[in-house]
Amino acid sequence: MQRLYRKRIIVGVGGGIAAYKSAELVRRLKDQGAEVRVVMTQGGREFITPLTLQALSGHPVHLDLLDPAAEAAMGHIELARWADLILIAPATADLIARLAQGVANDLLTTLVLATDAPIALAPAMNQAMWRDAATQANLELLQGRGMRLFGPASGSQACGDVGLGRMLEPNDIALLAADCFQRQALDGLHILITAGPTQENIDPVRYITNHSSGKMGFALAEAAAEAGAKVTLVSGPVHLPTPDRVSRIDVVSARDMLAACEAAMPCDVLIAAAAVADYRPEVVAQHKLKKDPSSGEGMLLQMVRNPDILATIAGRDDRPFSVGFAAETENLLEYASRKLRDKNLDLIVANDVANPSIGFNSEENAITVIDRELQQISFAQTSKGKIARQLITLIAERLNKN
Ligand code: C5P
């Protein structure tokens, strides 16, 4: 059921007695890692309170189309775009009829018209209403437009009748919801990525850093999230927006970065794309350093080694599949293979930062990946986004082999 991880699902609650099961459905979806927003019709509110569904989904329930406060928070078009799936449970005969007609007279029916996401209906109604020719014709129309039908089940009904029309059980609906999403290469895996430079303070106004922009690490985080992974991105100071569905932790120094990575463990894969400062000033001056006439024209700054984040994590008993970067200006493949061995890595990504079109801060990259058998896999120069997707595919292949 990892396919629901971080999937955005709108649960639409119509006005039927089965609405009491919607509460359980929201829990099931959340248990599988889905993000859930609930939209209720006027009828739905007669059967179960918005407060119950707010508590279970962790978000205010969306009720009205023309509520200025709700529209200011997340407008109906934004909500329609947000969704990966709209799941209407219970879908009553009236709601099904309105959807078949393309009516948009409340928030839920409006969202259905406005969304590009798949839509699934879990019908719930009296057996005679289910069998009625109008309901059946409406459902045929909606299925013809691509809507999915979950159920209904057969059995005893709240009204005392026995027959088809019971809403499926929440667990079964959640399983069918997962089937709406294709399996992805990194479904359910936790990928930890470091990105950007680190800053090592000299005094309150000065620091030592490097030219890393964070673009490669951020592109990898985006590609890993697209491939279904749970992504933690530990980033030094950069000017980049956080990719969708990525948890970002901002850090400043190498030691902060190591602490953040250790706190994010365990993970299945570590990709260390950060350009970590190898050294930091031994002491950070409390006050701004002044020019010292006694030292003449020069100044000495005593530096000490920073911890190696990648080697530390790759050396743990619970070590993840570990991927490092070797940004070099000379002897690229030789230095890269040495780092692979010294840091106990599974893969190392070598890139030639002497070439300005693929170096630090550039939009493109070209890489050679080296594995433990010293086999080389090269990816030609292209955008960092494409390189990131190629690298994520390679990592997924290697994980499957192991
Ligand atoms: O040894 P070098 O700095 O060239 O190694 C580069 C690789 O090691 C990169 O993947 C980088 O993110 C990682 N690294 C690290 N912590 C350090 C230094 C490098 O994680 N202190």
In angstroms and rounded to an integer, the radius of gyration of the C-alpha atoms of the chain is: 27
How far is it, in rounded angstroms, from Cα 224 to Cα 243?
A: 10
| Topology at the third CATH level for domain 2-178 | Rossmann fold (3.40.50)
Dump strand ranges (E) for 205-363.
Answer: 206-208, 230-235, 246-250, 269-272, 279-281, 303-305, 321-328, 347-352
Nearest in space to 248 (alpha carbons), one of 217, 276, 279 = 217
Active site residue 159: yes
pLDDT digits (tens, 9 = 90+) for 85-136: 999 999 999 999 999 999 999 999 999 999 999 999 999 999 999 999 999 9
- What is the CA(324)–ligand 1 centre distance, in A? 7
pLDDT for res 329: 86
Mutating to test ligand 1, I would choose from 261, 262, 310 the residue with most ligand atoms within 8 A of its C-beta, which is: 310
Specify the domain boundaries for CATH 3.40.50.1950 within the chain: 2-178
How far is it, in rounded angstroms, from Cα 131 to Cα 45?
A: 26
Pocket of ligand 1 (CB under 6 A): 194, 254, 272, 274, 276, 278, 306, 308-310, 324-326, 339
- What is the CA(215)–ligand 1 centre distance, in A? 16
- State whether residue 225 is helix, strand or coil: helix
How far is it, in rounded angstroms, from Cα 334 to Cα 366?
A: 17
Task: Give per-10-residue mean pLDDT for the chain (402 aa).
Answer: 86 97 97 95 97 96 86 86 97 98 96 97 96 98 97 89 94 96 90 98 96 95 95 97 96 98 98 97 94 80 97 97 93 94 97 80 89 94 94 95 76
Mutating to test ligand 1, I would choose from 255, 258, 276 the residue with most ligand atoms within 8 A of its C-beta, which is: 276
* Catalytic residue (choose from 159, 180, 261, 267): 159
- The architecture that CATH gives domain 190-284+298-401 is 3-Layer(aba) Sandwich (3.40)
pLDDT digits (tens, 9 = 90+) for 336-388: 999 999 999 999 999 888 888 877 778 888 999 999 999 999 999 999 999 99
pLDDT for res 1: 47
Specify the domain boundaries for CATH 3.40.50.10300 within the chain: 190-284+298-401
The reported pTM is: 0.84
pLDDT for res 355: 82
